[in-house]
Amino acid sequence: MAKPVLLTGIKPTGDLHIGNYFGALKPAIDLFMTGKYNAYLFLADYHTLNFIQDAEEMRRLSRECILAYLAAGLDPARAVVFKQSEVTAHTELCWIFDTITTMPYLERAHAYKDAEAKGREVSVGTFNYPMLMAADILLYDANVVPVGADQKQHVEYARDTAEKFNRVFKEEVFTLPEPIIQEEVAVVPGTDGRKMSKSYGNTIPLFASRDEIAKAVMSITTDSKGDKPEHVFAIHRLVRPEGELMALYEEKRGKYKELKEALIEDLDAYFAPIRAKYDELKGDDTLIADVLAKGGERARAVANAKMERVRAAIGVA
Ligand code: ADP
Ligand code: TRP
């Protein structure tokens, strides 16, 4: 029996931190590496264009994002890895979906409503984001789509759009996708105890050197209310089993500096192999181009075959 199709898209919008690693990269890679799926992972660069409108920055972030996934353990032999912009069927199908979608329906999307509420002038690309995302998902007959909770509604839009297309054109062209929401992935706190986020400047960068890790850890705010420094502990438990930590925090009760030093040591040891792999891959000039060329070719074969069915179903072929 054919394996179910797993697909997800990633938007490279900034330098990665360990919150991104534990909240997005690691859970996705773990799923991809189970071997249970026919898997696709793509860089959503045409989505990113809504946010990054600088060619050099687009190139740098795209490259670093793919490198980060490979360094963190994604084996390109286990997934079709490609760039959205290299498969033109995505934007073509987006247009076709636009013609069967109404404005009021898109006006109900959270991402659009949030942008509106902030008083920004919303671009047509941002407004239409859910239709491009529907095309991304439906071209490959994805059954399951792992996403963060904020993207659940977009996957539901893709599902509604598949149903609508099949109904309007009286043919089962598209498979209905389901989101997989990693509810159990807790929010990783930053050095100030709030959610770690590039917009708060409270991050520990994923590819930090030992010195950078030390600087970030030393800046973690501590309070003496409880019997252990909560913000230090909350990060520590991500990289060392909680059982071991309880004993350590008991033994070093009140010795915040020593506990921070232990955290520096453990963070450094945990991320050293990923960092080493990143440095090794970074030196390989052809690696990313090769991975994307192969992935692009496989993705185009699947997407173009689907487009033939779509064109026949709507009557332009
Ligand atoms: P940031 O908040 O730094 O701007 P993004 O919004 O770009 O991060 O998030 C990219 C991905 O990383 C999303 O899937 C998001 O859920 C995840 N993520 C970001 N910050 C955290 C965090 N502190 N804890 C867990 N997951 C996070
Ligand atoms: N919108 C997603 C995000 O902001 C990225 C994305 C684009 C995506 N296309 C997708 C995710 C298709 C899953 C499937 O994170």
76-114 pLDDT, tens digit per residue, is 999 999 999 999 999 999 999 999 999 999 999 998 999
Query: Over the stretch 234-271, which tens digit does the pLDDT of each residue have?
Result: 999 999 999 999 999 999 998 999 999 999 999 999 99
Q: Which ligand is nearest to the CA of 6?
A: 2
| Tokens at 242, concatenated | 């909680």
44 Cα–ligand 2 center, Å = 7
Residue 147 CB–ligand 2 contact under 6 Å: yes
| Tokens at 312, concatenated | 């026949």
Q: Where are the beta strands (DSSP E) in the chain?
A: 5-10, 38-43, 80-83, 144-147, 178-181
DSSP states of 254-287: T-HHHHHHHHHHHHHHHHHHHHHHHHHHHT-TTH
The 3-state DSSP class for residue 198 equals coil
Greater pLDDT, 10 or 120: 10
| Tokens at 19, concatenated | 């919150």
**Which residue's C-alpha comes closest to atom 8 of ligand 1?**
197
CATH superfamily of 198-280: Tyrosyl-Transfer RNA Synthetase (1.10.240.10)
Banded pLDDT at 139 (limits 50, 70, 90): very high
Residue 47 CB–ligand 2 contact under 6 Å: yes
Q: Which ligand is nearest to the CA of 5?
A: 2
What are the extents of the domains in the chain? 5-186+285-314, 198-280
Query: Over the stretch 66-75, which tens digit does the pLDDT of each residue have?
Result: 999 999 999 9
CATH superfamily of 5-186+285-314: HUPs (3.40.50.620)
- Mean pLDDT, the chain, rounded, equals 94
Q: What angle do CA 299, 305, 311 make, to 5 degrees?
A: 130
Banded pLDDT at 120 (limits 50, 70, 90): confident
- pLDDT exceeds cutoff 70 at 295: yes
**Which residue's C-alpha comes closest to atom 10 of ligand 1?**
20
pTM of the entire predicted model? 0.92
Query: Over the stretch 147-202, which tens digit does the pLDDT of each residue have?
Result: 988 899 999 999 999 999 999 999 999 999 999 987 666 789 999 989 999 889 99
Comparing 205-209, 210-214, 227-231, the range with the smallest average pLDDT is 227-231
Q: 152: number of CA atoms within 13 Å, CB side?
A: 7
Q: Which one, of 138, 78, 145, 58, lies nearest residue 295 by Cα?
A: 78
State the Rg of the chain over Cα: 22
Q: Which ligand is nearest to the CA of 23?
A: 1
Q: Which atom of ligand 1 is nearest to the CA of 149?
A: 16
* Mutation probe of ligand 1 site: the residue of 8, 10, 20, 185 with most atoms within 8 A of C-beta: 20
148 Cα–ligand 1 center, Å = 9
Count the Cβ atoms, other than its own, within 10 Å of residue 272.
11
From residue 247, alpha-carbon distances to 223, 262, 304 in Å are: 20, 13, 58
Cα 99 to Cα 159: distance, rounded to the nearest angstrom: 16
Residues with CB under 6 A from ligand 1: 13-14, 19-20, 22-24, 148, 187-188, 195-199
Residue 195 CB–ligand 2 contact under 6 Å: no
* Mutation probe of ligand 2 site: the residue of 5, 7, 11 with most atoms within 8 A of C-beta: 11
